[in-house]
Amino acid sequence: MKHHFMKYRRVKSILLGGGVWLLILSPLGGLKAQINIAAKQKSLISVFRQVEKQSKYVFLYDKAVENSPAISFDCANCSIERVIQLLEQQTKLEFKISGQQVLVKKRTTKGTGETKAAALTLQAAQKDTIQGKVVDERGNPVVGATLLIKGTRIGTATDRTGTFKLLRPADGQQVLCNCLGYHPEEIHVAGQTTLMLTLRVKAQQLDDVVISTGFQKRERNKLIGNISSIKGEDLQASGITTVDKALRGKLTGVYVRSNSGRPGEAGSIIIRGSNTMTGSSEPLIILDGMPLQNGGVAGTDKTSSNINSLLTNGIGNIPPEDIASIDILRDATAASIYGARAANGVIVITTKRGEAGKDYINYSTKQSLNMQPGNAFNFMNSAEKLAFETQLYKDFHPVYGGRANQLLLQVDNGAISAAEAQQQINQLSMINTDWINVLYNPAYQQSHNIAMSGGSTKLQYNVSLNYQDANGTLMENNNKQGGMNVKLTRNINDKLLVDFNLYSTIKKNKEGQSAMDPFRYALFANPYERPYQEDGSYAWDKTYRDLSGKVGETAYLNYETFNIIKELRENTLTTDYANVRSQFGLEWKFLNGFQYRGSAVVNYTNVSTADESRAGTYRSFAQNWLNVARTSGSGVLPKFNYGFLEENSGRTLDYTVRNTIEYNKTFADKHYVQAFFANEVSERTNNRFFHYNPIYLQDYRMAGYPSWDDVPPANYKKLDLSRLGGTYYEKDRSVSFISSATYSYANRYVFNANFRSDGVDIIGSKNQFTPLWSVGAKWNGHEEKFVKEQLPWLNRFVLSAGFGYTGSINRSVYPFHTYTLSALVYDDVVKAQAFKYGNPVLKWEKKRDINYGAQISVLNSRLNIEANYYDNRVTDLLDNVVLPVSVGRTSSVVNAGILSNKGWELSARVELLKKTDWLWEVGGNLTTVKNNLDKVYYKKEPTVSNLTPQNVENYAMRSWFGYKYDHIDPNNGHMMVKAQRLDAAGNISGEEIIDLSKISSADLQSKYRTYYLGQQDPKLYGGFNTRLRYKSMTFSTNFVFADGNMIKGFQDRREGPSGMTDDVTAGRTNRLKEQQYRWRQYGDVTDIPYYSPTASNYVNYLIDRDIESGMYIKCTEIGVNWRANPAVLKKMIKQLQIGVFANNLFTISPYSGSDPETQMAFGYPTTPSYSFSLNIGF
C-alpha cells in the first residue's frame, strides 16, 4: 500500500488575478460594424456589389437570381452574417457562405401548387445543367471549390463530397474552377453533362493554408516553426483503424514504433529523439485546442502491465474518420507556447466540424483479417529433440529433463525396459505439434463509423458514432470499443460564438491469462507434447517448466495437469474503460481586431479490471497468495488451490480552464500584427481502490479467504497482507501564463516571439515556476517581386530560423517522501519495503532548441523539398544519483544531467507523371538523430557488462556495453571473449582474451573494461511512399525504416522458460537446432559452448553476438482505392469509395528476432493484415 503525503500550494490568488482583468476589459468592447448600406428600390445585384466593396466576400448566383425584383435595403454596422439574415427576410432566396464566397439560390417553396410547379421547373432546369465532382491529385474531394461561368457571376460551389451542379454555359463559354491552395482550372464543357475535375496543389498558395497550433489557427505564411501536417483524408485512406499506426513513416521528424500486435496496442511516438532519462518521451496531445491529459489511471497495475497504454490513452479514443487534420509541432518556435509540457513535441488534433448548408450523412467501415504469426525460429522437431535429450542423458544423467530423459531414467531405475522406453520414444517422435498454430489463429477485426453533419449559418453540428471489434491472433483475446463524438457551434451574432464538444468512449478488453507467457510457450514447448488426447480431452504437458514463478525451489514443475489452452480459457483478465470529455468554448470579438476566447474542458476516466483465476488451474497454484507461507518447496497444498480474484478500480478527474485575449490587425495591406495573452489553470485528481481474494469460486462468483488455522504460526508473518487491498489518492495542480506576438511585412518577412511560465505543486516552492520563451524569423522569398519576375519556375522558397526553450518534468518524482509497506516483519513491526526520499529543490528539465530550415518548390510545384537542422540541449536532466549510506539514503533523483540531440530532417515529394487522367507521385522523409549524454552520474562506461542498456556520460542514451566474442576453446568448450585490460593506474592498456567462466566479478571490475557495442535507439528513421492514380482508381504504398541501432537478438538460453539456469536444465524444453552442435568433447570446433550442470558465468554478461542490428524496412501499407463517378451514382448517394489494403505485409531486416520494430526478441507479434473498406456519403 502506498501512502503519499502531498503538499498543496494554493494558487487561488494567481488564478483570480488572471481572470479579473478580463472582466474589467469586457465593458470596454464597443461592437464596431463592418458593412453599411442604404439602398431604396435598387436591384439585388447592386446590393451585392456594395457588400463586395466593403468586405472580402464575392456573391455567386444563377440567372434566376439576376431577375429578382428590386428591394429597399438598410443596414448599418452589420457583419456579413447580419447582411445575409436581412436579405433572407426580404427575398425568397437562400444564402450560403463558403470560404469567401456567398452562394445564392432560390428558396425551396412548401405550398402544394408551388411544389408541383417547382418540380416541373426543376425537371426543365436539370436538362440545362451540368454536374460533376472536384477532387485533388490524390482523389480526395475538394470541399468549397467554386465553379464560375467565365465572364459572369453565375456559379456554384462543391459540397462536402466535392460534387456540384451548375447551369450549362452557352456555346463557347468556359467554366473556371478555383479553390484556395490549388491551381485554377479552365474547362471547355463542349456538350458534356458530367465533369470530373482534378485540382493541383499550388505550392505558393500553401502559405494561405490554415495551420492549427491549438491556441490559434494561422496561415502558414505567418507561422514560424517546424510543423508536420496531415489531412484526415490521408489517415482514412488505409486499412488502419488507430491514429498512431496511421502516422507511421508519413511525417518528418516523427518516429512511430509499434510495440506489439496485441489489439488495442499503443505505438510509441518519438519526435526528434528522447529528451529525458526518467520521465516519459511521449509528446503532448492537444485535442481541438485543449490539452488531452494522459488517460491512464494511476495505480491500476493490471492495466499498465497487461493491457498497455492505448486502452487508457486518450489518442486511442479518436477514430481516424473523425479527424480533420493533425499538426505536429516539432521545435520550440512552434511549441514553446506549451512551455514545460512541450519538450517532447506537441501533436495538435483537429476533429471535423459541421458546416452550414445541406445535411450530410456518411457511413464507413473497415473489415480486416490479421494473419497468425509464423515461427521464424529454427527449433528442433520431435525426432531431433528426443535425440538431443538422449544425448544430454548420456552426457550428464540429469534427474530432471524431457520425456526421453524421464524414460531413460526409469530404465536405469528398473521401472521399464530399454525396449519399452525406445518404443515410447518412437511414438513421441511421430508427434509434431506446431504450438503457434494451436494458440494463434487468423483474427477478424471490424470498425464502423457513422457521421452526421450540417446546419445553418446560426448553428452547425457534427455527430459521429464509432464501433470497433478486434480479435487478437492469440486465442481468448478480444478488444471492443465504442464511442460518440458531438460537436456544436452556435453563432449567436456576428460578434459572439459558442461551441460545445462532447467525446465519449467505452472499451472492453478480455485476455486469457496464464502463468506461462503464451508466445514463449508456443516457441519452447516440446513438439511431442499434444494439446488434446485422442478422445478430445485436455492432454497434460509433463515437460514444460517456468522458473520465473514462485513455485517451489526444485526444478520440478510440481503440477501434473498443466495445459496451456485450459489455462487461457479458464483464467481471464477483463478491463473496462470509460471516458467522457466535455469541452466548452466562447469567442467574443470586440473593439477593432480584438478577440476573447474562453475555453474549459473536463475529462473523467474510469478503469476497472477483474483478474479471475479458476480453482484447480496451474496459475492459481503458481501465483497462490499462500506460497510465501508454504512449509516445503513443493508449493501450496491442493486444498488451497481455490483460485483467486483481484479487482482494481481507478478513476481520474481533470479539468483545464483557459482565458485568452488576442489581437489581429493588418495595416496598409502590408503590416500584419498579432498578439495574444492567455492564462491557464488545471487540476488532476486520481483515485484507486483494489482488493484481492485468495479464494474464488468462479462459477458461483464467490470470493473469500483461507482459514488462518491452516497457516503455520511461524510462517504467518510471511504473508503479504498489503496485497489483500488498499487505496491510492493523488492530486496535482498547475497554473500557466502565456503570451505570443507575430509581425509580418507584406507576407515576406515574419518575426515571432513566445513566452510561457508554468508552475506546478509537485515542485518545491523555490523552483516552482519556470520561464520559457522562443523567438523566430522567416523569409518567404517567393513573395519577393524580383523572384516572381526573374525566377518564374521557383514556386516557393522559404528560409527560417528559431531559438527557444521548452521543458518537462517527471511527475512521479516528488518534493516529499513516500514509502511502501511490505510483508516483512522485523521485531514484530511491519517494515517498509521501499522508502523514496523526496527532493524539495527539484527543477524543471529545460530544453534549448536551435533550428534552421529551408523549403523549396519548383516546376509548377512538381518538385518539393524541405530541409531542417536542429540542435537541442536538455539541462537540469533528472538522474538517479548513488549516495553513500552514511547520509541516510542510498540514492536520490536530482537535476544532475545534460543531454543533447542533433540532426537533420529531410523530406521530398516529386510528381513523376502528370496528365489529365494520370498522376504518379513519389515522396519520402528522413530524420537523423545524434543523441549524447553530455553529463550524467555514470561518467565512465560500466566496469562489468550488463544485460540491459546503460546511460553513460559521452554516449547515447540506452547504450550497450559488453565484451566481444572471440572463439570457443576446443580444449574445454569455454567461451573466450575480448576485454579491455587496465594498467595499475586504471587506464586502458590493451586488449586481452579472457575466459568468463573462470574469472570472478571482482577481477572483472578491477582489471578489465567493457566495449561500447552500440545504442538501442535508431540513429535515423523515416518513410517513403508512392501513389499512382488513373482516373478514379488509386494505387498507393507506404514503407517505414530505421537504422543505426542495436537490439537484443534471440537467445534461446536467455529467452527460454528456464531463464538463467544451467544448459542441462534448459534442455527440458525445446531448443534451437544449432544446440545439437554444441561442444561435447576435446577437439570439437564449434561456436556453441559446452554445457554444464551448473549455471555458466557467461550468461550473466552481455557479449557482442547477443545483440544485432535493428535495421529494418517495413511495408506498412499497399492499397487500392476506387471512387465512383458521381454521374453514375443515384441521387441519394453523394459519394462511394471502396478500398482494399494489405498492412504490415513484409519486413526486410537482418534481425533474427520476431520484429525489429518492437525492439524485442519475441513477444506478441505484429502480423500481416488484409482489409476491405467502404465509404458512402448521402
Task: Give phi and psi for 690, each to the nearest 5.
Answer: -145, 155
Tell me the C-alpha distance between 501 and 463, whole Å.
10
Q: What does the pLDDT look like over 539-569, one tens digit per residue? A: 999 898 654 443 333 333 457 789 999 999 9
Q: Say yes or no to pLDDT of 9 above 60.
A: no
pLDDT in tens, 622-673: 888 877 666 555 555 566 788 999 999 999 999 999 999 999 998 988 999 9
Reply yes or no on whether the pLDDT at 17 is more than 60: no
For 886, phi and psi rounded to 5 degrees?
A: -65, -20
Identify which of 54-68, 299-313, 1063-1077 has the greatest average pLDDT.
1063-1077
**CA 581 to each of CA 354, 452, 685, 1060: distance values in angstroms, whole numbers, following the listed order:** 19, 20, 15, 48
pLDDT on residue 113: 45
Q: Residue 630: its pLDDT value, please?
A: 60
Tell me the three cell numbers of residue 152: 459572369
pLDDT averaged over every residue in the chain: 84
The DSSP secondary structure of 121-161, one letter per residue, reads HHHHHHTTEEEEEEEETTS-B-TT-EEEETTSSBEEE--TT
Q: Is 853 exposed, middle or buried (0-12, 13-18, 19+ CB in 10 A)?
A: buried
Question: What's the rounded mean pLDDT across residues 76-88?
Answer: 84
Mean pLDDT of 429-454: 95
Are 728 and 662 in contact, with CB atoms under 8 Å apart? no
- Beta strand segments in 305-399, E: 323-329, 346-351, 357-370
Measured between alpha carbons, how far is 465 from 450 in angstroms, rounded to an integer?
5
Choose the weakest-confidence range: 285-294, 485-494, 603-612: 285-294
Least confident stretch, 148-152, 660-664, 674-678: 148-152
Angle (CA) 975 980 985, round 5°: 140
Judge whether 60 and 155 are in contact, CB under 8 Å: yes
- Assign 448 a pLDDT band (cuts: 50, 70, 90): very high
Q: Are 747 and 780 in contact (CB under 8 A)?
A: yes
Which domains are seen in the chain, by residue range?
35-205 (2.60.40.1120), 243-353+443-517+565-929+1018-1047+1108-1177 (2.40.170.20), 961-1012 (no CATH)
Residue 70 pLDDT = 85
Give the residues across from 41 on adjacent strands: none
Listed range (38-42, 94-98, 615-619) with the worst mean pLDDT: 94-98
Q: In whole angstroms, give the CA distance from residue 1135 to residue 373.
A: 37
1023 versus 115: the higher-pLDDT residue is 1023
Instruction: Find the mean pLDDT for residues 585-607.
Output: 94
Q: For position 88, what pLDDT does the model report? A: 85
Q: pLDDT by residue (tens digit) across 340-393?
A: 888 999 999 999 988 877 788 999 999 999 999 888 889 999 999 999 999 999
Task: Say yes or no to pLDDT of 834 above 70.
Answer: no
Most confident range, picked from 59-68, 148-157, 175-184, 463-472: 463-472
